[in-house]
Structure 1
Amino acid sequence: MNRLTSSTPSQAAIRLTVSGFLLMQIQSALLLMSPSLDRESGMLIWILTPIAVSAFVAALIGIPEPPEGHWRQRHGR
C-alpha cells in the first residue's frame, strides 16, 4: 500500500484515514452531548481512541498489499 504521504496514496490508506477521523468525530460528539463524563463514557472513549489513532498511524506508515496474482495459484495441476 502506498503511504498517505506519497504522491499517489492508495485507496486503503485514504479509507483508513477517513475511518480514523470518523471515529474521532464520533468520540467528540459523544463527549459534547454528555453533560457529565461517567464511567461508561470514559470506557467508550478509551476504546475508540486507540482504534482511531492506530488507523491513522497505519495509513501514514502504509500496510503491504498482497501480490495481485496470489489467489490464482493452482493446487496440484
Structure 2
Amino acid sequence: MNGLTSSAPSQSAIRLIVSGFLLMLIQSALLLMSPSLGSENGVLIWTLTPLSICAFVAALIGVPEPPERNWRQRHGR
C-alpha cells in the first residue's frame, strides 16, 4: 500500500485516514456532550485515541502489501 506521502496514494491509505479522523470526531463529540467526564467515558476516550492515532500513522507510512503470487504454476513440468 502506498502511503499518503507518495505520489499516488492507494485507496486503502485514504480509507484509513478517513476512518481515523472519524474516530477522532466521535471522541470529540462524546467529550462535548458529557457535562462531566465519568469513568466509562474515560475508558472509551482512551481506547479510541490510540486507535485513531495508529490509523493515521499507518496511512501516512503505508502498510506493505503481500507479494503477488503466480497462480499459473506448473506442476512438475
TM over 0.5, shorter chain: yes
Is the radius of gyration larger for structure 1 or structure 2?
A: 2
Q: Specify the alignment match of 1:25 in structure 2.
A: 25
RMSD: 1.8
Supply the distance in 2 between the matched residues of 1:68 and 1:36 (Cα, whole angstroms): 52
Q: Percent identity?
A: 72
Misfit runs of 4+, over 2 Å? 67-70
Q: Specify the alignment match of 1:11 in structure 2.
A: 11
Supply the distance in 2 between the matched residues of 1:19 and 1:54 (Cα, whole angstroms): 11
Structure 2, unaligned stretches of length 5 or more?
A: none
Q: State the secondary structure of the residue aligned to 1:27.
A: helix
Structure 1, unaligned stretches of length 5 or more?
A: none
TM-score, normalised via structure 2 length: 0.87
